[in-house]
């Protein structure tokens, strides 16, 4: 299992089938940059980038 996937900038989990929820940890990365990074990560792990949905979540803290 590849999720949760965590970096210093964001955390990624499946919130629903084929839906990746990205929680930004700080303002160092824009939502657009985070989504681009996650699409690359999905592709590098053999996933279908276009079949996934990508959402940005508001951090809880």
Angstrom distance (rounded) from CA 34 to CA 51: 17
pLDDT digits (tens, 9 = 90+) for 33-53: 999 999 999 999 999 999 999
> What pLDDT shows up at residue 60?
62
pLDDT, position 2: 82
- Percent of the chain at pLDDT > 70 equals 93
Query: Domain map of the chain by residue range?
Result: 5-57
**pLDDT beyond 60 at 61:** no
Residue 6: pLDDT above 80? yes
């Amino acid at each position: 299992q590849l999720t949760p996937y965590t970096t210093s900038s964001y955390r990624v989990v499946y919130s629903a089938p084929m839906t990746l929820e990205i929680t930004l940890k700080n303002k160092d990365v824009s939502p657009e940059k985070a989504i681009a990074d996650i699409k690359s990560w999905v592709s590098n792990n053999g996933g279908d980038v276009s079949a996934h949905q990508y959402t940005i979540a508001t951090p809880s803290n």
